[in-house]
Chains A and B, each alone.
Chain A
Amino acid sequence: MALPAATIEQLGQWEVPEQQIGLWSDALQRFRRNRLAIAGAAVVLLLVLIAFGSPLLVQLHLIADPLKQHVEFIEAAPGQNGYAFGADELGRDTLSRLLFGSRVSLAVGIFVQAIILPIGLAIGLTAGYFGGRIDNLLMRFTDIWYAFPDLLFVLVVVSVFGPSLLTIFGAIALVNWVGLARLVRGQVLSIKEKEFIEAARSSGSAPAKLILKHLLPNSLGPIIVTLTFGIPQAIFLEAVLSFLGVGIQPPTPTWGQMVFDGYENIYANPTSVVFPALAIGFTLLAFSFVGDGLRDALDPRMKR
């Protein structure tokens, strides 16, 4: 491919392509070249497979039932008695608990984003479109929300309403929607400034449909990136909750819970802490790689 002479003068500076056409295929290409992102995506894919496949594995008797307690094998070390990763303090198989823990993590990550999306969109759109006092009001509202330390809010809500699935998902969603709302609002505002909107307005028509039509392709990228980064945030919060004892309750195995349980016996059986801890860490790492990769791939200002 020829390198235009004008590029020489700009070597070392950002290039700004103006068209959106081909952005997606271009993005895919760039993502594929990012090895860390691919590694992250592979891990995520593996997690999804495990999450969906683990009940099947139990059915096929390939792994033990994570809920079944074998009292005689309490605190078995890895490799002992057929427990590949050992057993926990109630005699449950650590490996299968690990595998099942992925279900909770993924569920938290995805469902929380599913809740955040409509809230963030609604508020962002309203603030951006109507502007003026409504915008001001909503922005003050988000400022207040922002001032609340996220972990504290979630802990308070959970302590008040009890650690049910709904409460936990809802609370986590409530502390994380601000970012998406601000993003959407910013996008709407910048579209509103464009000339064709002025033209539509001056000819008397309400530009709502026009704005929406242009909003989608422009902001889809940043929205996806924000949601992707939101997944590890949500998983993190749930894990902390579990670690503090107020997350998703037993008998459903979650990684945070496993660290919590294992921590008490950390001297006798450190692996029961290490494995879930590493699982959490690597899952979050994988998602951040994917998020970084997506952001770099979709950023129109990316330097080669």
Chain B
Amino acid sequence: MAQTLLQVEDLHTQFFTRRGVVRAVDGVSLHIDAGETLGVVGESGCGKTMTALSVLRLVPDPGRITSGRILFRGRDVTKMTDDEIRDFRGNDVAMIFQDPMTSLNPVTKIGSQIEEAMTAHKRFSPQEAGVRVIQLLKRVRVPAAERRVSDYPHQFSGGMRQRAMIAMGLANEPSLLIADEPTTALDVTVQAQIIDLLKQLNRELGTAMMLITHNMALVASLCERVVVMYAGRVVEEGPVERIFKSPQHPYTWSLLRSVPRVDELRKDRLVSIKGLPPDLSNAPPGCKFHPRCPFVIDRCKREEPELAEVAPNQVARCWVLMRNVPEEAAEVTKQVVISEEAAKKLQEIPGAGS
């Protein structure tokens, strides 16, 4: 039986701004087992990054984790002391960020930045770290690693910078690697390389991965399970094949319908979900997705659904559920409008049509 590495229980992370309290993470629960790859998807602002930052207790001001538990191998991260959390970060759990250009210190050599991750945790001596840095860079397939170690970030290309960040994340052999949109800031061709690299590393090292993205295609190629978030909550969760084949939540369904399919002959235009994400300081009553949902019924406007099991290992937070939607209604293509940002990103996937 796989060991549970990370268990997030009913996490609430809120931002106390002048305009009100923003409920960025509003009761999220998820888990990752050792060696598993979990995808966390949703639009910008759905709380996926904040969830990840909460795991490392890196929530920026004016945000705070207000309630919930984050158990890593049984220890509650939210209750750790400063020393414990320092030991935890970059060691048990590592995180790599979206934009490698701004996420790396521009005036320090890349080698030093990776080495300091190792020496700070006293797991390697400075000499050992110096040797290991080159090995790490080689492992993430940075060419001429010996020379590159003394380079500065601006001397690396975008793809190489991201590899360096991955090397930095893996330096201390963490059990879990959280990757926040690792390919979004990169060229399409480079994206494919990074995806390959991550797959390979997952196979070789057995590192568990939490992959945060709004790119469904990325999830399809890398992840075993996926969690779909909307407005700070989990709205659907399940194994990747199941979710892709029969998504039950209308939001998931819309996300997937926006992926151009080359295997089916469809004449549709790219569909998009109409409307805007909700204001998280002032959310609508009932189901948070109901203003944009094409299949909304009365109950949705009044009562918020709980996460219910809709199939073995699959849960969804919906009163309607896609399997109850008659086929003709599901074929409606005109009403559904996706956010432009997601549609644009999807078009950049290799092999995508327009």
Q: Chain A residue with minimal CB distance to B43? A: A5
* Total cross-chain contacts (CB, 8 A): 47
> What's the Cα separation between A193 and B47 when bound, in Å?
38
Which of B68-76, B257-265, B274-282, B325-333 lies at the interface?
Answer: B274-282
Q: How far is the CA of A2 from the CA of B280 in the complex (A)?
A: 9
Interface of A toward B, CB cutoff 8 Å:
1-9, 11-12, 304
B-chain residues with CB within 8 Å of residue A2 when the two chains form the complex = 279, 281-282
The answer to whether B22 and A3 touch across the interface, beta carbons within 8 angstroms, is yes
Tell me whether B40 is interfacial, beta carbon within 8 Å: no
Q: A11-B15, A304-B18 are in contact. Are A5 and B279 (CB under 8 A)?
A: yes
Q: Taking the complex as formed, is B298 at the interface, i.e. its CB lies under 8 A from any CB of chain A?
A: no
Using Cβ atoms and an 8 Å threshold, which residues of chain A touch B276?
4-5
In the docked arrangement, what's the CA distance between A192 and B46, Å?
Answer: 40
Residue from the list A5, A7, A9, A12 in contact with B231, Cβ < 8 A = A5
**Binary interface profile of B, 28-48, with partner A (CB < 8 Å = 1, else 0)?**
000000000000000011110
CA distance A220 to B213 in the complex (A): 42
CB distance from A92 to the nearest CB of B (A): 53
Check A8 against B20 for contact (C-beta < 8 Å): no
Distance A167 CA – B131 CA, assembled complex (angstroms)? 69
The answer, yes or no, to whether B344 is at the interface (CB within 8 Å) is no
Closest residue of chain A to B60, judged by CB?
Answer: A12
**Can you identify 6 A-B contacts, CB atoms within 8 angstroms?**
A3-B279, A5-B278, A6-B45, A8-B47, A9-B44, A11-B63
CB contacts under 8 Å to A, within B6-39, are 15, 17-20, 22, 24
Our pick among B17, B49, B61, B281 for the contact of A9 (Cβ within 8 Å) is B49
In the complex, what distance in Å separates the CA atom of A5 from the CA atom of B281?
Answer: 9
**Main SS at interface, chain A:** loop
Contact present for A3 and B277 (CB under 8 Å): no
Partner of A6, one of B61, B231, B277: B277
Residue of A nearest to B45 (CB): A5
Whether A3 and B45, one on each chain, are in contact in the complex, defined by CB atoms closer than 8 angstroms, is no
- On chain A, the residues within 8 Å of B61 by CB distance are 12
Shortest CB-to-CB span from B136 to chain A, Å, is 30
The CA-CA distance from A2 to B279 in the complex, in Å, is: 6
Interface hits, B247-297 → A, CB 8 Å: 276-282
* A291 to B: closest C-beta gap in Å: 26
Bound-state CA distance A3–B187 (Å) is 32
Taking CB atoms, residues of chain A closer than 8 Å to B49 are 9
Enumerate chain A residues within 8 angstroms of B219, measured Cβ to Cβ.
none
Residue among A3, A5, A304 with most chain B CB within 10 A: A5
Q: Are A3 and B44 in contact (CB under 8 A)?
A: no
CA A2 to CA B282, docked complex, whole Å: 7
A304 CA to B18 CA, complexed, in Å: 10
State whether A5 touches B15 (Cβ < 8 A). no
Residues of B near A5 (CB, < 8 A) are 44-46, 231, 276-280
For B104, the chain A residues whose CB sits under 8 A away are: none
Q: In the complex, are the beta carbons of A8 and B22 less than 8 A apart? A: yes
Are A9 and B45 touching (Cβ within 8 A)? yes
Pick the 10 closest A-B CB pairs, nearest first. A5-B45, A5-B277, A2-B279, A6-B45, A12-B60, A3-B19, A3-B281, A8-B24, A6-B44, A8-B45
A1 touches B60 (CB 8 A): no
Q: A6-B45, A9-B49 are in contact. Are A1 and B19 (CB under 8 A)?
A: yes
Closest chain A residue to B231 by CB distance?
A: A5
CA distance A46 to B98 in the complex (A): 53
Given contacts A5-B45, A5-B278, A9-B49, 10 further A-B contacts (CB under 8 A): A2-B281, A3-B17, A3-B281, A4-B276, A5-B279, A7-B45, A8-B22, A8-B280, A9-B44, A11-B15
